[in-house]
Amino acid sequence: MKQKQTHVPIPERAVLRRINWKLRKEHLLLKKARPGLPLTQIGEYYLLDTKSYRVVTRHVDLMALAKKRDCLRPWETVMEEPQTAKVRARR
């Protein structure tokens, strides 16, 4: 009988933290672009050099980098976090 393959969803933030844990030895940091920035210029994720604070790589694929750096197990998948709208405080 075949085993049913299950995939465990891992939040984007957790994957981002796992990647940054591995990249810190190389003085790199994976950042997510702010909602106000145009994604065509820098992409959703980009690599930042922590020594010079310059963008090293633009348009980084989170899933591909996580697999390349062994941050995801074969049974794990990245779960996209829902976009949350900012709630304005009542006066």
pLDDT of residue 83: 62
Provide the whole-model pTM: 0.78
Q: Say what the pLDDT of residue 59 is.
A: 94
77 CA to centre of own chain: 12
Per-residue pLDDT of the chain (91 residues; tens, 9 = 90+): 566 668 889 999 999 999 999 999 999 999 999 887 777 888 899 999 999 999 999 999 999 999 999 999 888 888 876 665 555 556 6
Residue 25 phi, psi (nearest 5): -65, -25
Q: Please answer whether residues 65 and 16 qualify as being in contact, where contact means their C-beta atoms are separated by less than 8 angstroms.
A: no
| Three-state DSSP state, 6 | coil
